[in-house]
Amino acid sequence: MLTRIIQLLALVCIAIGATAFAQDRDIPSSPAQVQLSFAPVVKKVAPAVVNIYAKKVVTRRVNPFLDDPFFGQFFSQGFGGGLSRQQVESALGSGVIIEPSGVVVTNAHVVRDAQEIVAVLSDGQQFDARVSISDEKSDVAILRLETEGKRLPFASLKPSEGMEVGDIVLAVGNPFGVGQTVTSGIVSALARSSLDISDYNFFIQTDAAINPGNSGGPLVDMTGGVVGINTAIYSKSGGSLGIGFAIPSEMVASVVAAEKTGAKDRAQEGDEPKTIKTVARPWIGVHGQEVTADIADSLGLDRPKGVMVSRIHPASPARAAGLKVGDVVTAINGHDIRDPAEMKFRLATVPM
């Protein structure tokens, strides 16, 4: 009798387990559950992404001996040293339209010294473009397309502050000139500062495939918001190794704001001088060092964080506000500061 009861209980447990397993493996109840896809995000963003073709004329010396450490001294003294020729070089990159009037964000290195710039939309439309502002320090440039009043599709900048490591992102651009391409990945790291890419080494790291030609294209989240501008890759071969870097949208927004209001003008060199705006940024005249574990322990901090002030300029507004050598800056405008690179980034994005 006891054996019979145990057998019945075993059958009940098996039945319950099978039911639970069946619930975990439900048949999809709608086409939407079967066809999960990033296509809606791509359809929203792709029309605003442009391929950028930038041309510039460079002068190159023809004589191969000019670069030789020994023979160069002779040829530079009249023995054919003046022979040179002009060549047209083309740069390939990407960009994203952020306003329907034709305002495009891209990388400064994509359009550096360009005499002619053409932007091509995904539907084949082409527009001549001019550089309105170029910020070499952040590697961000703003272009204005000559649309003759035509309104264009655009994407919106979205703060990257809400991003977390592991979030899914898409990179859109024109790698190797093959045409508009979308790649997917995750946010691998935030506030990556141990690099030497620009003056503001503060990037979003992603494993979404980024290749030459992707520079200037958008990094977008699952709502279609532009959270970064793709700018560089870590690679020994020139191809993607799954380590790409994007400029956070907060830095991009500061350059966009400067293009509209807070920029200074400068003349661009060339046969036809043009006026290009540059970014004016806050200055506090403070130098600092990273807070190490030993420094944190001596100051009674629970962990290494912030920037210890090591030097202050005599005219520093921070000095006038009471900041002293030895003080530790732990936050700026509500954002925690981990190291000098982050402090520099946060100050650079303060509106002027």
* Catalytic residue flag (residue 24): no
Distances (CA, A) of 221 to 105, 296, 309, 318: 17, 36, 36, 37
User: What is the per-residue pLDDT for 200?
Assistant: 67
Enumerate the H helices of the chain as residue ranges.
Answer: 2-24, 31-34, 39-45, 72-75, 108-111, 249-257, 293-299, 317-320, 340-348
pTM: 0.75
Q: Which of 138, 188, 215, 249 is an active site residue?
A: 215
Catalytic-residue membership of 139: yes
CA 147/CA 17 separation, integer angstroms? 64
The DSSP output letter for 238 is S
Specify the pLDDT at position 88: 60
> In which band, very low, low, confident or very high, does the pLDDT at 76 lie, cut at 50, 70 and 90?
low
| Structure-model confidence comparison of residues 271 and 174, the more confident one | 174
Widest Cα–Cα separation across the chain: 115
Q: What is the DSSP letter of 177?
A: G
**Active-site option among 139, 207, 221, 339:** 139
Q: Is 327 a catalytic residue?
A: no
The helix (H) or strand (E) run that includes residue 276 is strand 274-279
Could you tell me the pLDDT band of residue 192, with boundaries at 50, 70 and 90?
confident
Asked if residues 210 and 197 have their Cβ atoms less than 8 Å apart, the reply is no
Highest mean pLDDT among 142-156, 252-266, 274-288: 142-156
Of 94, 109, 188, 240, which is the active-site residue? 109
Question: What is the C-alpha separation between 50 and 162, in angstroms, rounded?
Answer: 26
